[in-house]
Structure formats: C-alpha cells, structure tokens
C-alpha cells in the first residue's frame, strides 16, 4: 500500500533541509524573533497555554483529525498537545466564540468551507506536509449500481461542480436555511449545470436510492444537492449520516448506493485502500479541496512550527 502520509513527510523533510541551507543563522533570527518584536514574541509564547495545548477537532473518524494527531507526532514543538474531538458543528461554534472574544484557537479546518467567507482566517503553514496537498472530492458507488439503477448511476457519475458552488450552498445553510432549501435554491439558479448531470438519463417512478455521508458541512451541501436533483428525476432518496469508516464500509458492503464525500488522495487514503476493491470510483466531483490547521488572522503565528510545546 502506498503511504501518502509518509511520502508527504519525506518530501516535506527534504524541503526543510533545502530551506535550512539557504539562509545564515543570523537571517533566521531576524525573521522569526526580531528584537523590535519582543512583545509579539511574548504573546506567541502564551497561545498554547491559553488554549490548554488543545487543537479544536471535529468528528473522531475524520481524516483531518488523524492528520492533526500525526502532526502532533511529527512536529516537536507540538509535544504535549492534544486534538479535542467533537463534531463539525461544535468546532464551528467554538471558532465563532473565540473570534467574538478575540481569543486564540486552532481548529482542524478544510476548504471548501463557509467559515472562510464568514471570518478572517488563515491556514498555518505545514512545512512537513503532514496534511498533504491539494485534494479531490470523489464519488464512490457500490458494485452493481450501474446494472440495478442505471439512471441513478449516471447522475452520480455526471455530478461535478466547483468550490464556489459548494460554498454558496454551505453559506446559505450556515445562515439558517435547511439543507433541502439551500440545495433547491442552488438548483434553480444553476439549471445549466443540473442539466449536464441529468443528461442522457430518464425519469423514474419512485426508485429508491440511499446516499450516505458524514455530517461535515461540505458534504451536507453536496449530498443534498445531488439528492434534490435525483428527487426531481423521480427517485425516492434517503440520506443516512454515518461516521467516516462506516460511510465507506456501507458502500463497499453494498448496503448504501453511493456517496459524494471521498476526499483523496490523502484525507481518506486509508479508507480508500481498505475498500477500493469493493466499490466503484466514479472520479472527482470537485477539484481543489484542502485540509489543514486553521487560525484567526489576528493570531501572530504563520506556521505550525510557531506554536509552543507544552511544558
């Protein structure tokens, strides 16, 4: 099995060595902790302590949570830190409250996500590349779906959109719309895209389709849009929320028809390796996704390496 994380680590390490060879030690000192910046350096020192050396995570099974746990292993300056797991909703609430009070917070973040439209945020640089690079979001269906439900298969196969589309739906949901409502609004404003997804398919009369997802904001948006499009074509669509591992396993076991929530090659690399022989990969439905550690702009840190180890 190809280990993407290890690959990222090695690539990251060689980059670090190259970078280290470029500047004299005097230059580095001037860049990171200039004497004129004494106060800022002091406030950096306190961030970890103020946050209880805790990264605010999301669901325990999420790829970004395991990457954050890997980061704690890989970065010496994160020794003594922990990832607090909860849910995507709880993370968003904690982020909003920290920003309200201008307090430091580090969250497990991802793009596309409405939080970047709502708040001034930045990804922390990840010189060891623990969080990987650009990702695709892919569609996976169960074996046999093409024969059993060819029209459903074809819509899932043709579904693809852009980060800006997904963000529009996510933002409307974050502003209080129900996922169905936000999906329907997007659909009525984007008939050209929807027509391309349903092109060459026939309407059906109540054929049941079961889609699975994890309740991540991005996947709530995409899955509901696909579900509403299928409903308009006559399908009886059920959306079942699961944890990440079970989401993959349910499609591989043929219990669910499909999902549009596969983040690859890195975030769900392990789940893909474990299940790929038993499911059908229908390719990317979105390009340019990303995961990492995210902080408010007002925090005086730019890199994971700027955080301080616990005593």
**Residue 114 makes contact with ligand PBE by CB under 6 A:** no
Task: State the nearest-atom distance from the C-beta of 197 to ligand PBE, in Å.
Answer: 21
Minimal distance, residue 106 CB to ligand PBE, in Å: 15
From the list 39-47, 120-128, 215-223, 293-301, the region that binds ligand PBE by CB under 6 A is: 215-223
User: Which residues are paired to 135 by β-bridges?
Assistant: 289
Helices 150-158 + 217-232 axis angle, to 10: 130
Shortest Cβ 142–ligand PBE spacing (Å) = 20
Q: Tell the smallest beta-carbon distance from residue 291 to ligand PBE (Å).
A: 5
Select from 4, 53, 110, 248 the one that contacts ligand PBE (CB under 6 A): 110
Our CB check for ligand PBE shows the closer of 187 and 262 to be 262
Q: 304 and 47 in contact (C-beta within 8 Å)?
A: no
Report how far residue 258's alpha carbon sits from residue 158's, in angstroms, rounded to the nearest whole number: 13
Candidate segments 178-186, 195-203, 211-219, 235-243, binder of ligand PBE by CB under 6 A: 211-219
Count of chain residues binding ligand PBE (CB under 6 A): 12
Find the binding residues for ligand PBE in span 149-188 (CB under 6 A). Answer: none
Give the H or E element holding residue 34. Answer: none
Q: How far apart are CA 56 and CA 305, in angstroms?
A: 17
Q: Give CB contacts under 8 A, 24+ apart, made by 264-267.
A: 264/135, 264/136, 264/138, 265/4, 265/132, 265/135, 265/136, 266/4, 266/5, 266/8, 266/63, 266/67, 266/131, 266/132, 266/133, 266/135, 266/291, 267/62, 267/63, 267/64, 267/67, 267/132, 267/135, 267/291
- The contacts of residue 199 (CB under 8 Å, 6+ apart) are 158
How far apart are CB 37 and ligand PBE at their closest, in Å? 34
Residue 58 engages ligand PBE in binding (rule: CB under 6 A): yes
Q: Which of 218, 223, 224, 233 binds ligand PBE (CB under 6 A)?
A: 218
User: 85 or 267, CB closer to ligand PBE?
Assistant: 267
- Minimum distance from CB of 223 to ligand PBE (Å)? 11
Tell which one of 8, 48, 57, 63 touches ligand PBE (CB under 6 A): 63
Q: How far apart are CA 179 and CA 27, in angstroms?
A: 51
Residue 200 tokens, joined: 């060459």
Which residue, 198 or 271, has its beta carbon nearer to ligand PBE? 271
The terminus-to-terminus CA distance of the chain in angstroms comes to: 37
Q: Which two tokens stand for residue 197?
A: 């997804």
Stretch 241-280: interaction string toward ligand PBE, x if CB under 6 A:
---x------------------x---x-------------
**Interacting residues toward ligand PBE by CB under 6 A:** 58, 62-64, 110, 216, 218-219, 244, 263, 267, 291
């Amino acid at each position: 099995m190809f280990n993407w994380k290890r690959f990222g680590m090695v690539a990251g390490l060689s980059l670090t060595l190259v970078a280290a060879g470029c500047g004299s030690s005097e230059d580095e000192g001037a860049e990171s902790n200039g004497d004129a910046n004494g106060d800022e350096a002091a406030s950096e020192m306190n961030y970890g302590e103020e946050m209880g050396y805790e990264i605010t995570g999301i669901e325990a099974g999420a790829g970004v949570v395991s990457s954050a746990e890997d980061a704690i292993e890989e970065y010496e300056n994160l020794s003594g830190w922990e990832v607090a797991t909860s849910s995507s909703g709880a993370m968003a609430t904690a982020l909003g409250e920290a920003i309200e009070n201008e307090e430091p917070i580090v969250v497990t973040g991802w793009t596309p996500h409405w939080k970047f439209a709502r708040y001034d945020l930045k990804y922390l640089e990840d010189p060891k590349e623990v969080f990987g690079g650009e990702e695709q979001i892919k569609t996976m269906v169960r074996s046999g779906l093409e024969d059993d439900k060819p029209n459903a298969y074809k819509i899932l196969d043709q579904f693809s959109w852009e980060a800006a589309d997904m963000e529009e739906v996510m933002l409307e949901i974050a502003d209080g719309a129900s996922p169905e409502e936000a999906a329907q609004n997007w659909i009525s404003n984007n008939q050209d895209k929807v027509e391309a997804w349903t092109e060459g398919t026939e309407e059906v009369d109540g054929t049941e389709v079961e889609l699975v997802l994890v309740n991540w904001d991005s996947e709530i948006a995409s899955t509901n849009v696909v579900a509403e499009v299928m409903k308009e074509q006559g399908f009886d669509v059920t959306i079942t929320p699961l944890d990440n591992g079970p989401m993959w396993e349910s499609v591989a076991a043929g219990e669910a028809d499909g999902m549009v929530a596969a983040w690859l090659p890195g975030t769900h690399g392990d789940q893909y390796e474990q299940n790929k022989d038993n499911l059908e990969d229908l390719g990317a439905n979105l390009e340019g996704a990303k995961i990492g550690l995210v902080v408010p702009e007002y925090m005086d840190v730019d890199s994971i390496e700027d955080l301080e180890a616990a005593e």
